Structure 1
């Protein structure tokens, strides 16, 4: 069964080259991407959009005419990858300084090779032995393209790369394009913004050393006013890089749209010795004719099947309990075992002990870097606790923050040079900690070795990998001054290599990417982690907006959503336990409340709702998401629906902020069902209108809709549809 939202008739893919016209055709799913070699030997973008007929042809590519003596052809021709040189003023993909001071780089086509779903094109500078290898790989199911560039120095002297992008996505002339992007901050991540694309350049970026929450490396572009959630053309993309990054969205002088992305060029300089190469991150791009909702569903399907470890069918996320809010740093064997018993009683499948278990850790002021089990809190090590957790039918997880060090730690006292620093300058602390320079081989080895040792000695199924500050003083005094800016690339490369090696040696261990919430979530880190932590803000009402924004770029399958105590520290807002569960059940369910304070009725409610979640978990985590009523722009309502892969189940969650003046809750019109299918409706929580039938066709539920009874403040309901034979 083809997943809902993907056209079953256009699943096959192909890459072909027309020798006569010098044009490449890439066709997959419902998308076509066409590029060619023009008379200047430039790689020219020709088409990106809805799939064309196989018989459709393109003429020989010709570079665009210049607009005037001020704007030559190099600026008006839409190129796939350009070097800075020859009078170019639009955003370049590659900028190099050579030892003799020359900074001119003009790239021309040399050769190409097609291997299945992958196209590789080689470019070379017109006079120097600088080669660029462009790679395009298409996903057959979604039509999403993965692009990257590798720069090779085959000259006899070192050169300095001052800017490198993975490539440029091009859209035709237009004045009505709209850009969507995601911004945020700690406890307020995933805010969706829209703006009309104007002449000039919009830069989305992070200069923080990591992905950051201020912007996320995702974009979507559509035609203003011509689409909605499920209709209209949308071009979208995401950068797979967990360091400083930038995406530039530019409308040029002839109203063409260019989107260029890669590592951030701010404070960047990568010295490339003869014989060395530099590989750019992967830059993913896709097209949907089914609105922004269709774009999200394609991206979700691609992430689950292609990006996440163990794809195309990664393991479903277990129901998790985390002990942080119950104990904070005051962890010990007896207290954690008592919490584990309570968690098991409501159906939890994974017990995670958070911060405070290692070194001399009693606050966030000390012991980061000292990764040994605290002998007072756990006199016999972690094994008794782990054995207890296993006896209760749960697996065991542990919080770690491997990339950080407290100045008050044995590690820092022994190796102060291991922190990022500029010689003789202050070292700025964040959360009372400094950052280890993971670019250093000795630091990389230390981090890997302590994690490997811990996993070898303990039966640990899960690591919550935290990262609680941004970079400062990004110096690397151990290397030559001309090589110190390599830290931005080498750090991330070593982070990925640690994760990759750990996964190879411990294939059963699962990992969560956490960074004080959602500050390191991107398609780069997701290749090595099984789930992500979107925000430290667990207020169930705030989460409706946070989770809505998150799902524009990332799948609910990886979105951890905890049920925590009410009122929360965030807003001091009181919400019912049922409301909190339903909010979290839209993603991968976790529980972070202090179970020591729960009453018997709380445990009974939680046990019931955990059992209900397990019945719908596969649909929520693997199905197709439809945003029926958006919580954006201060909406009083929010409704999401998820349809299973085979369209046999649909789950709908509805939330009301406040009812007013006896107005009923809006009717809910479902999506994604088989019109001819017969479905039985059942309430999960809340009350359905008595006027609707219990069994009806998919067409009925989509066209007639469903009424639910919600009234009051902060109310929620959920219902499911199950396919039945009749």
Structure 2
């Protein structure tokens, strides 16, 4: 149901919008911009929000409204005035105009599952150029309370290290009344740098409380982004931004009639604290995905890279891997890097022609062997990269590459293609179409292994704007490739999880969650991954090795079960009992994968710390759940009060000893042995 109130908004100071359980109320006035004053989950529910303007805009030459470290109230935003609104197809669009400059803003609120996707389009309605410096993607304020702020830190091989602290510790009370009523200047901000959108921090945050509704948000861009929390007059305001002048060297010139649309921001509210907020965000992520029938199969992929060939393929190496992967139950087999050029997987990238003589009988012989074992073939590409030795670096026009200060960007021997340029897109279209037509490829692992910096200043007023334009063009290219090839799956990988954002993940099938090769360390990455990506997209590597004990083998496989099992390793070299553990984990995952695709993540012991000795993740599918517990330290007893009234039974592995479980005050207590050891339980 969608409704607007009142009938004649031109005469009333407020209007409302209701859609599928979302209830929003906005106020407008002659002397203020449109403000969101109520956001609730039902007609009679209390509002989550405090009054706050819905958008802020900064242009060159503007003065700031107040001296703070925040991006809020930094320009023309406070002078915007309401000019109208309309509703259609689950969207509310609000129009405002800034009378002095003629700047116009149309704000779009799109319902998506339990949340809202918010973006703004800025138009220059004057007869002179305007230079945009910052435009908020979303601003939401809540009354001050007992909130915890959660943010995710990340780096290569150590993705998803979540932090949770009381907001009052991050934003101290400086007693502004004692200082003649001046407002707080501090804020807590999280910012990306360069083209790894999740290389340092994750574009997601949560403001959680057990005393009322919590809110969660994400920034949906592969370019620069920033979010911040600040205090002002009894409220806490969360501001979400794409690239900005201050942090990302962003600037966008608008000629008269020109427009700019912000990157989307996703916002959800939920009763029940941290896990409820992440559950709502999980369903929101599912709602914004562009799903195809081939995506819904959720096939199990074997990839020959991790702890296996490591970009050194050949026919002789691949054939035993193909044999063992099929026997284990893999449905796709992906040949990773090193199959092209002259065999140097790094400097040869970009031409995407197989290495002459590397494969006995040619690469097609490997592809045929994959099909002969009943699996579908996949292959690795790094579409935005051109190595120094590749002919593409000489043949493509100079404007098809990232450039700054008149020089081509060179990151450790890689040139960065700019997908705004038609020659860059045509080069990759030809590559993808040729590999599908010539080899019958049905799965592409699309990697991204360099941080190309702030962007490109070619055809851009600032390099941050150039990077944004490229990442938007790359997403469009990927969507178009899938429209041309609806039966082909595309994985998003960015040196593991270094570009893990829903600009790409809304159109990609799978996300590699890390390049971490130590199975003991992978447990914390796999357990935290559903905070950043829907569980059914979280490609957690499972790479058993003959050097592992049976307990270690089960530990390694558990990471894959609790997300999207991404198989690797020299499976043919495993002992019989080890291989049986691999097959058992795969069977359990296949039995659960479609329930995982509707599940919500729960962390019974809290979000995992990097060095935690015991880690737990529950994937709650309603009446049933999967619960994984990893032990990496000494023996311990683990109480699970969140499962009070429910029973747990060991589901994997059946061949290893059962962990002892007793009930205390109606809640399970698990006796966890010394690690490394892991078990998967069903929760009933």
TM-score, normalised by the number of residues in structure 1: 0.82
Aligned pairs for 1:644-683 within 5 A: 644-645=621-622, 647=623, 649-660=624-635, 665-669=637-641, 671=643, 681=649, 683=651
Q: Are 2:78 and 1:78 equivalent residues in the alignment?
A: no
Q: Quote the Cα distance in structure 1 between the aligned partners of 2:658 and 2:576.
A: 27
Q: Are 2:25 and 1:34 equivalent residues in the alignment?
A: yes
Aligned pairs for 1:568-587 within 5 A: 576-587=552-563
The 1:356–1:170 alpha-carbon spacing in structure 2 relative to 1, beyond 3 Å, is: same
Task: State whether residues 223 and 242 of structure 2, in contact with CA within 8 Å, keep that contact through their aligned partners in structure 1.
Answer: no
| Structure 1: gaps (5+ residues) | 1-11, 62-75, 97-102, 693-700
| Structure 2: gaps (5+ residues) | 172-183
Q: Quote the Cα distance in structure 2 between the aligned partners of 1:499 and 1:618.
A: 25
Q: What's the CA shift for 1:360?
A: 1.6
Task: Tell me what 1:346 maps to.
Answer: 328
Task: Tell me what 2:265 maps to.
Answer: 283
Task: State whether residues 147 and 167 of structure 1, in contact with CA within 8 Å, keep that contact through their aligned partners in structure 2.
Answer: yes
Q: Quote the Cα distance in structure 1 between the aligned partners of 2:564 and 2:290.
A: 15
Q: What's the CA shift for 1:49?
A: 4.5
Aligned pairs for 1:617-628 within 5 A: 617-628=593-604
Q: What's the CA shift for 1:449?
A: 2.7
The 1:159–1:39 alpha-carbon spacing in structure 2 relative to 1, beyond 3 Å, is: closer
Q: What's the CA shift for 1:434?
A: 2.4
Aligned pairs for 1:72-471 within 5 A: 78-84=52-58, 88-89=65-66, 91=70, 106-139=79-112, 141-142=113-114, 144-172=115-143, 174=144, 176-195=146-165, 196=167, 197-198=170-171, 199=184, 200-223=186-209, 227=210, 232-252=212-232, 255-265=235-245, 266-310=248-292, 314-324=295-305, 325-364=307-346, 366-378=347-359, 381-415=362-396, 417=398, 418-423=400-405, 427-430=409-412, 432-471=413-452
Moved more, 34-43 or 110-119: 34-43
Q: Quote the Cα distance in structure 1 between the aligned partners of 2:72 and 2:342.
A: 48
Q: Are 2:39 and 1:48 equivalent residues in the alignment?
A: yes
Partner secondary structure for residue 411 of structure 2: coil
Partner secondary structure for residue 431 of structure 2: helix
Partner secondary structure for residue 139 of structure 2: strand
Deviations 1:556-604 (A, max 9, x none): 1111111125599xxx999611111113211111222123543333323
Q: What's the CA shift for 1:132?
A: 1.1
Partner secondary structure for residue 616 of structure 1: helix
Task: Tell me what 1:100 maps to.
Answer: none
Q: Quote the Cα distance in structure 2 between the aligned partners of 1:433 and 1:485.
A: 20
Task: Tell me what 1:684 maps to.
Answer: 652
Partner secondary structure for residue 447 of structure 1: helix
Q: Quote the Cα distance in structure 2 between the aligned partners of 1:416 and 1:505.
A: 26
Task: State whether residues 377 and 440 of structure 2, in contact with CA within 8 Å, keep that contact through their aligned partners in structure 1.
Answer: yes
Task: State whether residues 208 and 277 of structure 2, in contact with CA within 8 Å, keep that contact through their aligned partners in structure 1.
Answer: no
Task: State whether residues 81 and 98 of structure 2, in contact with CA within 8 Å, keep that contact through their aligned partners in structure 1.
Answer: yes
Q: What's the CA shift for 1:463?
A: 0.9
Deviations 1:201-240 (A, max 9, x none): 22211121341320111111124xxx3xxx7531111111
Q: What's the CA shift for 1:538?
A: 4.0
Q: Quote the Cα distance in structure 2 between the aligned partners of 1:51 and 1:88.
A: 35
Partner secondary structure for residue 580 of structure 1: helix
Q: Quote the Cα distance in structure 2 between the aligned partners of 1:129 and 1:720.
A: 60
Q: Quote the Cα distance in structure 2 between the aligned partners of 1:449 and 1:549.
A: 38
Q: Are 2:504 and 1:525 equivalent residues in the alignment?
A: yes
Task: Tell me what 1:99 maps to.
Answer: none
Q: Quote the Cα distance in structure 1 between the aligned partners of 2:553 and 2:51.
A: 58
Partner secondary structure for residue 456 of structure 1: helix
The 1:252–1:157 alpha-carbon spacing in structure 2 relative to 1, beyond 3 Å, is: same
Task: State whether residues 35 and 51 of structure 2, in contact with CA within 8 Å, keep that contact through their aligned partners in structure 1.
Answer: yes
TM-score, normalised by the number of residues in structure 2: 0.87
Q: What's the CA shift for 1:468?
A: 0.3
Q: What's the CA shift for 1:513?
A: 1.1
The 1:347–1:154 alpha-carbon spacing in structure 2 relative to 1, beyond 3 Å, is: same
Deviations 1:226-257 (A, max 9, x none): x3xxx753111111111111112222355442
Task: State whether residues 651 and 721 of structure 1, in contact with CA within 8 Å, keep that contact through their aligned partners in structure 2.
Answer: yes
Q: What's the CA shift for 1:31?
A: 5.0
Q: Are 2:478 and 1:499 equivalent residues in the alignment?
A: yes
Deviations 1:358-392 (A, max 9, x none): 1223342x211111222312465543322321221
Q: What's the CA shift for 1:17?
A: 4.2
Q: What's the CA shift for 1:323?
A: 0.7
Task: State whether residues 407 and 413 of structure 1, in contact with CA within 8 Å, keep that contact through their aligned partners in structure 2.
Answer: no
Partner secondary structure for residue 165 of structure 1: strand
Give the number of equivalent residue pairs: 654
Partner secondary structure for residue 483 of structure 2: helix
Q: Quote the Cα distance in structure 2 between the aligned partners of 1:496 and 1:519.
A: 16
Task: State whether residues 643 and 667 of structure 2, in contact with CA within 8 Å, keep that contact through their aligned partners in structure 1.
Answer: no
